[in-house]
Structure 1
């Protein structure tokens, strides 16, 4: 059996030179369907996030090719964020693969696993995602990357399936209730 191809993902901070590329990705049908909002407003938010304390935006690189966008956010640093019920130190994650020819090839689960592993190495206790429950492709990718559904909520963007992946190195520090929370369906 041939070896699986080796993929090298990198995550580079968004710079002003990336904004046109991100804008083009947001217009792609496979992104626009799920990345809610007015494109101009989204781009203004992403530009603002470059200097934000609560949100960190990244370009996803596959080798030397920019293939998508990813951002982390700390719900505890945003006033009235609906996910402040998560453990302190939790980061939320939003992402998309911008290049349509890369969809369905397993990049989503692999890059998510790699990025979340980097966050865990930095001591992040939990990472959450909140895909639309109708976005079955994203949900499958998150599941393959180790995320487990624990709640369904309504966000400002509509229905959200709450999924989490907990840092295995910190699992022994969780109370039993916290450990069970991620296993609820």
Structure 2
């Protein structure tokens, strides 16, 4: 069943939705699980994304790198968050070598925050549209790094055409 999927540039007015979503169980399990989000933390993290960049801190300076952030809308309802950026601009959160990735490679981070839209095919439709409308107009490749136990996300990625490059198991 095809839905009318659109994307809105992230704005400060969306911050309350982000806070609601990142504190729901099905998101928190995979997205910054160790953070107790507050309105202030949401603003601190996402206010620069609204302006189109993310700070990358080195020992001697702060660099601004492009970050493209959007709200996913389905049939007039805001249902999730999605962002893309140059994968080579930011160090990986997991243990893998990004030098093995193609030069022209976007990273995608996203979620469906509204539980009523999870498991209904909306995610794969939204991701496919997003890749073609935004990502593949700038990059030749796209990269995602779901947790290996996040079977639902992995199924969506495979449905959309992603291929596994490697499996990384991180022990704490």
Q: How many residues align?
A: 151
Structure 1 portions without partners, runs of 5+: 160-185
Which residue in the other structure is 1:56 paired with? 68
Does 2:31 correspond to 1:19? no
**Structure 2 matches for 1:22-171, cutoff 5 A?**
22-36=18-32, 37-38=34-35, 39-40=37-38, 43=42, 44-51=44-51, 52=53, 53-78=65-90, 80-81=91-92, 83-119=98-134, 121-153=136-168, 158=170
Which secondary structure does the structure 2 equivalent of 1:109 belong to?
Answer: helix
Measure, in 1, the Cα distance between the counterparts of 2:89 and 2:152: 30
Q: Distance in 2 between matches of 1:95 and 1:120?
A: 13
1:29 deviates by 0.7
For normalisation by structure 2, the TM-score amounts to: 0.78
Residues 128-161 of structure 1, C-alpha deviation per residue, up to 9 Å, x if partnerless? Answer: 100000000110111111111111236xxx58xx
C-alpha root-mean-square deviation of aligned residues, in Å? Answer: 2.1
Q: Structure 2 CA distance, aligned partners of 1:121 and 1:74?
A: 12
Query: Which fold has the larger relative contact order, with Cα–Cα distance below 8 Å and residues 6 or more apart in sequence?
Result: 2
Give the TM-score normalised by the residue count of structure 1. Answer: 0.73
Residue 177 (structure 1) aligns with: none
1:35 to partner: Cα distance: 0.6
Runs of at least 5 residues in structure 2 that lack an aligned partner in the other structure? 54-64
C-alpha distance in 1 between matches for 2:134 and 2:101: 16
